[in-house]
Structure 1
Amino acid sequence: MPRIGVIFDRDRAPEDLPAFAAAVEEAGADELWLVEDLGWTGGISSAALALAATSRITVGIGIAPAPLRNPALFAMEIANLARVHPGRIVAGIGHGVPEWMRQVGVEAKSKLAMLEETVLAVRGLLRGDEVILDGREVHIDGVRLVHPPTVQPPIVTGVVKPRSLELSGRIADGTIIAEGNGPAELAASLEHIRRGGAGDDHQLIVFTYLYVDDDASRIEKYTGELVAGQAAWLGKQPEELFSLIGAVGELPAKVRQLADAHVSTIVLRPLGPDPIAQVRTAIAALES
């Protein structure tokens, strides 16, 4: 059975996060994932709030844009959280949405180099190494953390395209796959990740929409627009997207499909007006 995570949606008010995190932990989830999108909220500060409000669950940042996050500062922040909450933080890093990166003047000339060099620098710093890196995008001259973490946090990447997936397989501890991708797409992504050199311990983390209901009109009301937008981004029809939207009885079989596709963690993105109720229903269905 894969681990079960839950996303705190970026549109929810930040002041709701501590109570949401505590409720997710109480419901039995293994992980809580936080979004860092330009103009919404910061992933590091959100992770600090969630960790302080809980005692058990892992908190993942999904994902920090590499061009926006200087690797030395990012490592310092992650190390701080990892020292206080050992074994409970996952550092997610990605290319960053190009339009957003241009808005703040940090778009990388080489997105692949930026991501690779950021991951390598952050990993070295978290290990306690003195990092010297004069790369195409990242430049660090002899920096070492005074307080590196005692438990090394996993570094995962949120990527989409083949070359980025191969890069993730080479440098990261895991890969985040976006909402809407099912077993067939996961198999194709995993092929690229393995081509990069990833072993069996590489985590495959899949975000997926969740809305449990038998009423088709409510399903359309609460999920239709979002699913359509994600389908357009993926170049698919809405009905082609894999999700956990529908009757509760369908959940166990769909989750088994993801487990058979070598998914390590299924991260639920609950939709509708009562996301915690959706999470509780889903976890109860999977445990029965």
Structure 2
Amino acid sequence: MAQRGRLGVMYDRDLPPEGLADLARRVEELGADDLWVVEDLAWAGAVSSAAVALAATSRLRVGIGIMPAPLRNPVLLAMEIATLARAFPGRLVAGLGHGVRDWMAQVGAAPASPLSLLGETLEVTRTLLAGGTATLDGREVRVDGVRLVHPPAEPPPLVTGVLGPRSLELSGRLADGTIMAEGQGPGRIATALGHIGRGRAGHGRPHELIVFTHLFAHDDPAVVEAATAPVIAESQAFLGVPRSEVHLAAGDTATALERVGVLWEAGADTVVLRPIGPDPLSHLRPVLTAARR
């Protein structure tokens, strides 16, 4: 297997919020590096979820993957991130994205230019978290002379969850990392790294590639096939790729972990496991234990 990178766990959006603290503690005990929370429209709020996970643990890095930029004023966003970063220094990664277009329209928040909004939000948020004064009369964001009273001593990484070539290039230019959604394997990673690299060409700052992948660990191939079929179909539709190109960590423990290793080998710095089904620990326990060895 490829040399081990960071290994994280996603708290699935379908799991109840009241179970988050317990799962965070359990995956920390099992040796995971990260716990990631998500924010999709009408599910749970990402900032409050991150606060719960951070307060329940002592070592885990907690990632937000992702907050839709159209739903947040960048000054309020920076205030929220700064509060968590000061209370839990060195343990937060804050992720931003365009948001699902239909969902943003559903709440009256669809921007004229999603790419401009994300870029301008990143610029303002980064300036504020670094203790600077933000002023911008942009295409989508307008801020006039705002400075945080309590900026963090160490600003947390700002990463983006994006998919298209222009957005990936923007991420390389302005963000500290990129999140790749579930279903994407080595070929998609190579393509994404090319776009990100073009964005990074002007500065060369470190850039973390975070790849989400579904997990289903079971010894019976028939059980694995039945459980993963709907997930594969969903990834096919979302990514627009053939079934054979959908990547996930599924099979017995050794096979699932090998599939994680393929992502590290392809260039992922961090792989985040998204267990399928209502009992995430039944899949996480054997895989995290094996990964530790």
Correspondence for 1:206: 211
Kept after mapping to 2: 8 A contact 1:22/1:53: yes
1:80 aligns with 2:83: yes
The structure 1 residue matched to 2:126, chosen from 120, 123, 138, is 123
Aligned pairs (5 A) from 1:1-288 = 1-197=4-200, 199=204, 201-288=206-293
Return the letter of the residue paired with 2:251.
G
Could you tell which deviates more after superposition, 269-278 or 110-119?
A: 269-278
Kept after mapping to 1: 8 A contact 2:160/2:171: yes
- The CA distance in 1 between the partners of 2:158 and 2:12, in whole Å, is 21
What is the TM-score with the length of structure 2 in the denominator? 0.95
Kept after mapping to 1: 8 A contact 2:160/2:175: yes
Partner SS state of residue 133, structure 1: strand
Kept after mapping to 1: 8 A contact 2:215/2:256: no
Identity %: 55
- The CA distance in 1 between the partners of 2:96 and 2:163, in whole Å, is 13
Superposed displacement of residue 238, structure 1: 2.9
Return the letter of the residue paired with 2:88.
H
Return the letter of the residue paired with 1:226.
V
Return the letter of the residue paired with 1:207.
F
- The CA distance in 1 between the partners of 2:19 and 2:257, in whole Å, is 29
Show CA shifts across 1:266-286 (max 9, x none): 000011332113112111222
- The CA distance in 1 between the partners of 2:233 and 2:5, in whole Å, is 27
- The CA distance in 2 between the partners of 1:253 and 1:10, in whole Å, is 26
Kept after mapping to 1: 8 A contact 2:216/2:256: no
- The CA distance in 1 between the partners of 2:16 and 2:55, in whole Å, is 17
| Root mean square deviation of aligned Cα | 1.3
Superposed displacement of residue 252, structure 1: 4.0
Kept after mapping to 1: 8 A contact 2:123/2:174: yes
Return the letter of the residue paired with 1:267.
V
Kept after mapping to 2: 8 A contact 1:228/1:237: no
- The CA distance in 2 between the partners of 1:238 and 1:286, in whole Å, is 27
- The CA distance in 1 between the partners of 2:187 and 2:234, in whole Å, is 20
Superposed displacement of residue 42, structure 1: 0.6
Partner SS state of residue 200, structure 2: coil
- The CA distance in 2 between the partners of 1:247 and 1:200, in whole Å, is 38
Superposed displacement of residue 41, structure 1: 0.9
- The CA distance in 2 between the partners of 1:20 and 1:31, in whole Å, is 12
- The CA distance in 1 between the partners of 2:262 and 2:277, in whole Å, is 24
- The CA distance in 1 between the partners of 2:259 and 2:18, in whole Å, is 33
Superposed displacement of residue 222, structure 1: 2.5
- The CA distance in 1 between the partners of 2:277 and 2:13, in whole Å, is 14
- The CA distance in 2 between the partners of 1:256 and 1:49, in whole Å, is 30
Superposed displacement of residue 243, structure 1: 0.9
Aligned pair count reads 288
Show CA shifts across 1:120-153 (max 9, x none): 0000000010100110000000110000011210
